[in-house]
Amino acid sequence: MSDSSLQLTNYIRKKTQQAVVSWGDNIVTIGGDAPIRVQSMTNTDTVDAVGTAIQVKELARAGSELVRITVNTPEAAAAVPYIREQLDKMDVKVPLIGDFHYNGHTLLKDYPDCAKALSKYRINPGNVGKGAKRDIQFSQMIEAAIRYEKPIRIGVNWGSLDQDLLAQLMDANAALATPKDSREIMVEALIQSALQSTQKAVEIGMPLSQIILSCKVSAVQDLISVYRELSNRCDNPLHLGLTEAGIGSKGIVASTAALSVLLQEGIGDTIRISLTPEPGASRDNEVIVAQEILQTMNLRHFTPMVIACPGCGRTTSTYFQHLASEIQSYLRNQMPLWKKDFPGVESMSVAVMGCIVNGPGESKHADIGISLPGTGETPSAPVFIDGQKAKTLRGDNIIGEFQQIVQEYVQQRYTPKNI
What is the binding site for ligand SF4 (CB under 6 A)?
309-312, 314-315, 353-355, 357-359, 374
Which of 151, 354 has the CB closer to ligand SF4?
354
Nearer to ligand SF4, 139 or 325 (CB): 325
Helices (H), 148-219: 163-174, 182-204
Closer residue to ligand SF4, CB minimum distance, 209 or 315: 315
CB of 311 to ligand SF4, least distance (A): 5
Find all residues with CB under 8 Å of 202, minimum gap 6, and list them.
208, 211
> Using CA atoms, how far apart are residues 43 and 281, in angstroms rounded to an integer?
12
Cβ neighbour number for residue 27 with a 10 Å cutoff? 13
Q: Distance between CA 127 and CA 130 in Å, rounded?
A: 8
Minimum distance from residue 363 beta carbon to ligand SF4 (Å): 10
Q: Indicate the residue among 31 and 354 with the shorter CB distance to ligand SF4.
A: 354
Helix (H, G, I), strand (E, B), or coil: what is residue 329? helix
Q: Does the annotation flag 229 for ligand binding?
A: no
3-state secondary structure of 391: strand
Closest CB to ligand SF4 among 31 and 359? Answer: 359
Is there a binding annotation on residue 355? yes
With H, G, I as helix, E, B as strand and everything else as coil, classify residue 27: strand
184 among the known binding-site residues?
no
Q: How many residues does the chain have?
A: 419
At closest approach, how far in Å is the CB of 309 from ligand SF4?
3
CB of 318 to ligand SF4, least distance (A): 12
Burial of 130 (0-12, 13-18, 19+ CB in 10 A): exposed
Q: What's the closest the beta carbon of residue 316 comes to ligand SF4, in angstroms?
A: 10
Residue sitting closest to ligand SF4 (CB): 354
Number of other residues whose CB lies within 10 A of the CB of residue 297 = 15
The minimum distance between CB 101 and ligand SF4, in angstroms, equals: 49
Please indicate if the annotation marks 114 as binding a ligand.
Answer: no
Alpha carbon distance 215, 159 (integer Å): 11
Give 221 or 358: the residue with its C-beta nearer to ligand SF4: 358
- Beta strand ranges found along 26-85 (DSSP E): 26-30, 37-41, 66-70
- Extract the annotated binding site: 309, 312, 355, 362
- Extract the annotated binding site for [4Fe-4S] cluster: 309, 312, 355, 362
